[in-house]
Structure 1
């Protein structure tokens, strides 16, 4: 482990079939005025909404709602939520849904008492809050983002065709608690399930494919990736398998709660590429990542050859006997591609609505991140995106 780092994660997790009962422990810690935040209404169909509202009433909360939070929350929706929270004199934000709902709640949290435009302050200038923020709690119904245990928030601006994530430095922005009941994920459509699974896997990859030292975080990442692969294959055949879905849910949290990034540089270029594609297509996040991953990894493989070889051997059980390092590394990526096809992931951005004439705009909107094995030039981004079309 090279360098110096700190680690703090204050989010308290409640996991399991009875985990929602713990709202009765957490809610009394916060003020009376609560904003209940959720998405398109699926929680009303599956009964989770009624369960949560009953507990809120039991705890004497005065509840207002922000509904209709979309899979890629927009800045216009953020402005709407800020107004609702201000009018309600909100003391606490309770997000019930997937990662987008949790992301959105954090964006509202840092914006309610902010005197500036939150889009400009947090997503263009990447500044930190200098105002009082609201506490957030999460009841998770879809896994993938890890938003339930981190300080990240992604917002989309359709007018400027930008989709930008801000990982806030202050751990106070992290949810105070998160409720993780794997049963809540069992009603997800297959498309959403596998999209979330790939989001988990790629979060780990983004932190794994960097650095050359012997780092404990990489060993943890390899174990998490093997767990995702194993459980995903079970869930793909039997989506109602509780054990597989519970393992996937738990791995999703540990994939992006900052643990496996400690002592490392990190490479977030797949996310930068995928988010820019999403800004143009409004496609499901995990699918945008899947569509650009292999062209990107094959592009940077020569610069991080030893890590790609290790990935092939330790994650995909590739036998290196009698093969060159390049052959082993490429065989690992082929194994990854086979698994992605097995799950039914989208493998090119044209399937998501991207076209040749969008490529330059998508490339212009792609933030270039340092930390990986190759800092990309604009022309390389264009090349990767063109390869991702096919």
Structure 2
């Protein structure tokens, strides 16, 4: 482990089939007004909405609502929600849904009392909060993003063809998260698969960096192996509780800030994927699966030692009698075979991305340091071409 760091995560997480019952205890810690944040109505069809609103009423809360949060929340929707929360003088934002809903709630939390335009301030200028913040709690219904236990928020601006994530400080990490894996059973199969690869790539983004012997990398390998095993069970039987509970737990640990401590991190697959999402509105996890193999083949020569380790430790590739390049390539091939088995998108064309959109994707891709190679715009384009 290199360098100095501070680890702090204030989120209290309740896990298991009875986790929602813990909401009553959490509500007692907040003032009288709760803004309920949710998406397109699936929580009403499942009965979760009635369960939660009954608990809110029993706790004596005044409830306002922000509904209709889309899978890629927009800047316009953020402004709308910020006004609702401010007008209600919210004491708590309760996000009930998947990562997009929770991301959105965090953006509303930092924007409601912001006198500037929140898109400009927090997502273009990337400024730190200097205004009143609203606490956030969540009930997770889809595993994948890890948003339930981190300070990240991703917002899209379709007019500007941008999709930008801002990782705020620990003050924006949800105060509590309720994770009942049974709630994820209602998620459409496509979204379950997208969430699985999203979490897998979260781990990869923190794994494929650095040359030191780092404890986080050993944890990352165990999480990837667990996710691969459980994903195959869940795809065959989506109602297998053991598999879905393991997936939920891995997804949380994949991005709750632990794995990235004491090391550099990459995030370039996410930057390309978010740029694709900005112009196609595609499911986030699928934008990552479409470009990850081409990206990793591109940077493999610059971090060959880690790709060899990935092949051996995650995919059980036997290295005897092979060059490092052969072992590393077998690891990527094994990853691709698993991706095919769980049924994720493998080509950007499947997302509706056409060559005339490549300029917008290249322009919208933030080029980051921290991985084994900082890309150039031409290399981003080459990865898109290789992923077509």
Q: TM-score when scaled to structure 1?
A: 0.99
State the Cα distance separating 1:86 from its structure 2 match: 1.5
What does 1:32-51 correspond to in 2, within 5 Å? 32-51=32-51
User: Gaps spanning 5+ residues in structure 1: where?
Assistant: none
What does 1:242-321 correspond to in 2, within 5 Å? 242-321=241-320
The residue number in structure 1 matching 2:121 is 121
Matched, 1:24 2:24: yes
Distance 1:336 1:228 in 2: 12
State the Cα distance separating 1:224 from its structure 2 match: 0.3
User: Gaps spanning 5+ residues in structure 2: where?
Assistant: none
Matched, 1:107 2:98: no
What does 1:184-263 correspond to in 2, within 5 Å? 184-263=183-262
Distance 1:263 1:83 in 2: 39
SS in 2 for 1:17: coil
The residue number in structure 2 matching 1:181 is 180
The residue number in structure 2 matching 1:67 is 67
Matched, 1:14 2:39: no
Distance 1:388 1:52 in 2: 43
Distance 1:180 1:189 in 2: 18
Aligned length, in residue pairs: 388
State the Cα distance separating 1:318 from its structure 2 match: 0.2
Deviates more, 1:183-192 or 1:325-334: 183-192
SS in 2 for 1:310: helix
State the Cα distance separating 1:87 from its structure 2 match: 1.5
Cα RMSD after superposing both structures: 0.5
Distance 1:79 1:120 in 2: 11
SS in 1 for 2:278: helix
State the Cα distance separating 1:386 from its structure 2 match: 1.2
Q: TM-score when scaled to structure 2?
A: 0.99
Distance 1:116 1:380 in 2: 36
The residue number in structure 2 matching 1:84 is 84
What does 1:116-195 correspond to in 2, within 5 Å? 116-168=116-168, 170-195=169-194
SS in 1 for 2:156: strand
SS in 1 for 2:387: helix
State the Cα distance separating 1:378 from its structure 2 match: 1.0
The residue number in structure 2 matching 1:56 is 56
Runs of 4+ in 1 over 4 A off after TM superposition: none
* TM-superposition CA deviations, 1:208-265 (whole Å, max 9, x none): 0000000000000000000000000000101000000000001100000010101110
State the Cα distance separating 1:4 from its structure 2 match: 0.9
* TM-superposition CA deviations, 1:155-210 (whole Å, max 9, x none): 00001000000001x21110000000000001111111010000000000000000
The residue number in structure 1 matching 2:362 is 363
State the Cα distance separating 1:89 from its structure 2 match: 1.4
Distance 2:174 2:372 in 1: 32
The residue number in structure 2 matching 1:326 is 325
Distance 2:126 2:386 in 1: 31
